[in-house]
Structure 1
Amino acid sequence: MSRWKAAAIHLSISLILAAIVATLLYTLWFPPPYFHAAGAGTLIPLLMGVDIAIGPLLTLLVISPAKPKRLRRLDVSIIASLQAVAFGYGFYVICQARPVFIVGEVDRLVVVAADALSDADLAKGSRPEYRHRSWNGPRLVGALPPTGSRTFDVVAQAMGSGKDIDRLPEFYVPYEQVANSLKRHGRPLASLKPKGAEQRRQLAELEQAAAANGQTLYFLPLERQDVYYTAIISSSQQQPIAVLTVDPWNIPTKK
């Protein structure tokens, strides 16, 4: 078998594996509308690129019909091992970065990744479902500020470590408890300032679809690690129906 044929077979297998994994991640760990806001638009192509490049490229460079069969088998074993290690590490990184909670707090939504929560903080979750990291997509929850003696402790902790109530499951509540408060902070789509034709087209399509269904839309900032997106929310559902790469602030600010 020629090296080109071997590399082509290896590439085909890698593409099939990449398609299966990408579909799984897109539908389960990084589902719409949070796909890009959760960082999957960068992480998944990187993982797939490394996986596809390492195996087939090494096969093309190393495999040779002139080599003895024993050496060809050794080469294939080494290449497969390298590819498996690279893929496993990349998959682990994505696993740690997967969003496990979308937290509604005060005037925004916050994407909380698996590695942003400590086991100790999870153990204090206000409800059983808030005490573990989800494996089947992010949970939409709310967070209420502390009261009484815990207020000073949480404020001091936030100032010292940057860990606000969105990363403290003891303050999580069902999303319905904060939906009306978030709605009062929502702003009309007309106040958005999209950049470029694609963003304007997305907004126009959302507005047309909402008008056809007699719905009203508003937006809230969606934050991931101090990067802001725009969450479009239906007034009837009071939940995000789309996330756009539009800066929701006139003057970018940090939380």
Structure 2
Amino acid sequence: MKFRFFCFTSHLLISFVIALLTIFVVFWVWYPSPLDKALGVADIFLLLLCIDVIIGPLLTLIVAKQGKKTLKMDLSIIGALQIAALSYGLYIVAQGRPVWLVYDNNRFEVVQAYEAVTNPQSSRGDFPLSLTGPIWGAVIEPVPATVARRDAFYQAAFLQKYELVANKSGSNAMPIEVLKRFNDADKVEQEASKYPTANSYIPMIGKQKPMVVFVDKTTGEVIAIVDLAPW
């Protein structure tokens, strides 16, 4: 029994360390807060991760028996299945990660990896499918007549760096006070107090939940993404 418990705790500890590293990559690199909420990744991924972390060690507890001839093979199979399940989960999450935050028509659109269109021959090269966090951009003006405006924001060929339109976007941004119409006033004040240089906002559209981007109205500089309803 001691041997089984040792195998179980060892496997659980290893799984826990891997889970922590995975959580760091997903929630601090791929989906920096609060984009995880905007895209609804947290609940599904954490559920899959918990199942993967728990089931593997439990299977080890069941099969572990000192002196068992097939123990190494059994543990190898369990480990391989656990790694395969985790890899598949990470692949799905990676496909949905936000790669571009694109300004267009007085709002930001969150573009996820699976829907982003890159074309090395026509792209400016500033919008790769980044694995280190989303890139801020804007739709070029004018959009070619052959391209529907609603299709431009997820195609790298029609994007430019956000800095090039920052002044324009800042001038069109709305006062933070407007947010009190759609959110609890105390919460708006609390969030605004965290960013003293922010004096206006631009809506951001996420698949799961819309949010706001605090900006400096004079320069259009992005200050922070905030979990508040824009309307």
TM-score range, shorter-chain basis? 0.7 to 0.9
Tell me: CA distance 1:228–1:173, structure 2 relative to 1, closer, same or farther (3 Å).
same
2:231 pairs with 1:230: no
C-alpha separation between the residues in 1 aligned to 2:216 and 2:42?
24
Secondary structure of the corresponding residue to residue 128 of structure 1: coil
What is residue 142 of structure 1 aligned with on the other side? 138
What is residue 125 of structure 2 aligned with on the other side? 128
Q: Greater CA deviation, 164-173 or 225-234?
A: 225-234
The offset of 1:21, in angstroms, is 2.1
The offset of 1:79, in angstroms, is 0.8
What is residue 252 of structure 1 aligned with on the other side? none
Q: Match for 2:12: what amino acid? A: L
1:182 to 169, 175, 179: 169
The offset of 1:231, in angstroms, is 2.1
Q: Match for 1:16: what amino acid? A: V
Q: TM-score, normalised by structure 2?
A: 0.84
C-alpha separation between the residues in 2 aligned to 1:96 and 1:45?
16
2:201 pairs with 1:219: yes
The offset of 1:216, in angstroms, is 4.0
1:150-185 Cα offsets, whole Å, 9 max, x none, are 32x222xx6xxxx62111212211212222232233
Aligned length: 227
What is residue 80 of structure 2 aligned with on the other side? 81
The answer to whether the 8 A contact 2:37-2:209 is kept is no
C-alpha separation between the residues in 2 aligned to 1:181 and 1:43?
38
What is residue 37 of structure 1 aligned with on the other side? 38
The answer to whether the 8 A contact 1:105-1:178 is kept is no
Pairs within 5 Å for 1:60-139: 60=61, 62-65=62-65, 68-119=67-118, 121=119, 123-125=121-123, 127-130=124-127, 132-139=128-135
The answer to whether the 8 A contact 2:198-2:214 is kept is no
Q: Match for 1:242: what amino acid? A: I
C-alpha separation between the residues in 1 aligned to 2:87 and 2:195?
42
Name the Cα RMSD after superposition.
2.6
The answer to whether the 8 A contact 1:50-1:87 is kept is no
C-alpha separation between the residues in 1 aligned to 2:167 and 2:39?
24
Tell me: CA distance 1:209–1:232, structure 2 relative to 1, closer, same or farther (3 Å).
same
The answer to whether the 8 A contact 1:43-1:94 is kept is no
The offset of 1:15, in angstroms, is 0.9
2:230 pairs with 1:248: yes
2:162 pairs with 1:165: no
The offset of 1:140, in angstroms, is 0.7
Q: Match for 1:76: what amino acid? A: L
The runs of at least 4 consecutive aligned structure 1 residues that moved more than 6 Å come to: none
C-alpha separation between the residues in 1 aligned to 2:88 and 2:203?
32
The offset of 1:96, in angstroms, is 1.2
The offset of 1:38, in angstroms, is 4.4
The offset of 1:210, in angstroms, is 4.0
The offset of 1:43, in angstroms, is 5.0
Identity, in percent, stands at 26
